[in-house]
Amino acid sequence: MSNRSQQLLSRALNRIPGGVNSPVRAFRAVGGSPFFVDRASGSRIWDVDGQERIDYVGTWGPAILGHAPDIITQAVKETADRGTSFGIPNPLEVEMAELICDKVESVEKVRMCNSGTEATMSAIRVARGFTGRDKIIKFEGCYHGHVDSLLVKAGSGALTFGHPDSGGVPQSFTDHTVVLPFNRPSAVDAAFEANPDQIAGVILEPVPANAGLYLPEPGFLEHLRSVTKKHGALLIFDEVMTGFRLGFGGAQTRFGITPDLSCFGKIIGGGLPVGAFGGRSAIMDCLAPDGPVYQAGTLSGNPIAMAAGLAALRELQNHDLYEQLEARGQLLEDGLRAAAARTGHQVQFHRIGSMFCTFFTEQRVTNLEGAMTSDRDLFARFFQGMLEQGIYLAPSPFETGFLSTAHSETDVQTTIDAASTVLASL
């Protein structure tokens, strides 16, 4: 770590828990100490000592157009000149709502909030209020923000209620959460049979991206849609990461599944803090002031976040950039697979669109159990080697990488060459 980064970390450790404001930034999973960023542009970041790196974290997904694209920074500047926050309705939040409802078939009404955590928390509250039921099904490895009732892991069996996976969360907060293995339809069926007329909804990342990245098996999402309809429960897609990244309509459009409620974030803020949740009008009308389910936020629909998000979404829509992202992703996948094969490493490389990750394991990875077989020490060495080569990957074996439209073919080839060098040295 650079001298200035070390100085900043020392200061931060005195005043910020762990020296960071989000745990993964601390590099605990990969060893060493984090560097501090001074600026970012396009596909690159520069630390406080001026070292340049190709970035595949992209502020954890929002930077789909690259860092600080002119179209977004200009929108932010122009909007800020008219005021940074009102706490009063503004035209931009209406434009954002109309755009989302127009392009995401499942969403007839949408409400803005300030983070993905707020979006998932609120969607669950709406599901419970609409159905009059208490229990929620979630899946191992699917992270939905730091919501008390969702910070759980599976117990001794598929039907065991979750136990808190974080200090400060009472057991009673998770007693209504059922945690199941992803990609296992029989476990879902058994949970519904064991809890008749008690399950309000099923929430999941349609493409889990917080335990590494793994894909839904053919028919799994379709089964969830069928079983929730059969039992009168709501299907909730957490598309905070996948929304407007895997296509303009998100994962639900890519897979052809229509959920009852959807949660968004990341890209719809253009890199600024934002979240949203939406669905059928009959469900969303349960929200106050029209219904009994309360949800509010002083900064919800913040004009700067709305302006940045609208600029990003319109750029994606007007120039149909998803084919470019797919091509860059395929180039990276082919190159990294070839590099692993040449160097004799057992690697499971997963990619969908512009999202990707690498598991150092011989086992096929379809859920959290498979992801946990990945060699964490080997990943840490790979991460540090890539960092030395000027490539910044997510500092955890259980996170996802992101490509942007700013990543050139040259960037990707440089990354492949670096990976070949590092893998050969492991």
CB distance 355 to 402 below 8 Å: yes
CB distance 357 to 248 below 8 Å: no
Beta bridge partners of 153: 163
Q: Say whether both 358 and 415 belong to one domain.
A: yes
Q: Say whether both 327 and 306 belong to one domain.
A: no
The CATH number covering residue 156 comes to 3.40.640.10
Residue 2's pLDDT is what? 67
Residue 155's pLDDT is what? 28
Last residue of a domain, one of 298, 319, 340: 319
CA nearest neighbour of 232 among 192, 203, 289: 192
Last residue of a domain, one of 319, 335, 365: 319
Determine if the peptide bond prior to 289 is cis (ω within 30°). yes
Kindly report the three-state secondary structure assignment for every residue of the chain: CCHHHHHHHHHHHHHCHHHCCCHHHHCCCCCCCCCCEEEEEECEEEECCCCEEEECCHHHCCCCCCECCHHHHHHHHHHHCCCCCCCCCCHHHHHHHHHHHHHCCCCCEEEEECCHHHHHHHHHHHHHHHHCCCEEEEECCCCCCCCHHHCEECCCCCCCECEECCCCCCHHHHCCEEEECCCCHHHHHHHHHHCCCCEEEEEECCCCCCCCCCCCCCCHHHHHHHHHHHHCCEEEEECCCCCCCCCCCCHHHHHCCCCCEEEEEHHHHCCCCCEEEEECHHHHCCECCCCCECCCCCCCCCHHHHHHHHHHHHHHHHHCCHHHHHHHHHHHHHHHHHHHHHHCCCCEEEEECCEEEEECCCCCCCCHHHHCCCCHHHHHHHHHHHHHCCEECCCCCCCCEECCCCCCHHHHHHHHHHHHHHHHHC
Q: Say whether both 77 and 164 belong to one domain.
A: yes
Q: Say whether both 280 and 349 belong to one domain.
A: no
Q: How many domains would you assign to the chain?
A: 2
Residue 50's pLDDT is what? 95
**What CA–CA distances, in Å, run from 68 to 121, 230, 340, 394, 410?**
30, 46, 33, 20, 20
Beta bridge partners of 359: 348
Residue 1's pLDDT is what? 53
> Range of 225's domain?
70-319
Residue 149's pLDDT is what? 78
Q: Say whether both 272 and 310 belong to one domain.
A: yes
How far apart are alpha carbons 356 and 399 in whole angstroms? Answer: 9
Q: Say whether both 391 and 271 belong to one domain.
A: no
Ordered per-residue pLDDT tens for the chain, 426 residues: 568 999 999 999 999 999 999 888 999 989 999 999 999 999 999 999 999 999 999 999 999 999 999 999 999 999 999 999 999 999 999 999 999 999 999 999 999 999 999 999 999 999 999 999 999 999 998 999 888 778 775 322 333 344 556 777 778 777 899 999 999 999 999 999 999 999 999 999 999 999 999 999 999 999 999 999 999 999 999 999 999 999 999 999 999 999 999 999 999 999 999 999 999 999 999 999 999 999 999 999 999 999 999 999 999 998 889 999 999 999 999 999 999 999 999 999 999 999 999 999 999 999 999 999 999 999 999 999 999 999 999 999 999 999 999 999 999 999 999 999 999 999
The CATH number covering residue 336 comes to 3.90.1150.10
Q: Say whether both 266 and 175 belong to one domain.
A: yes
Residue 147's pLDDT is what? 81
Q: Say whether both 90 and 9 belong to one domain.
A: no
Q: Say whether both 202 and 257 belong to one domain.
A: yes
Residue 246 phi/psi, 5-degree rounding, is: -85, 10
pTM for the model stands at 0.95
Catalytic residues: 143, 238, 266
Last residue of a domain, one of 297, 319, 341: 319
Q: Say whether both 114 and 155 belong to one domain.
A: yes
Q: Say whether both 313 and 325 belong to one domain.
A: no
Q: Say whether both 276 and 325 belong to one domain.
A: no
Chain length of the chain = 426
Residue 168's pLDDT is what? 79
Residue 304's pLDDT is what? 97
- State how beta strands 52-55 and 44-47 pair: antiparallel
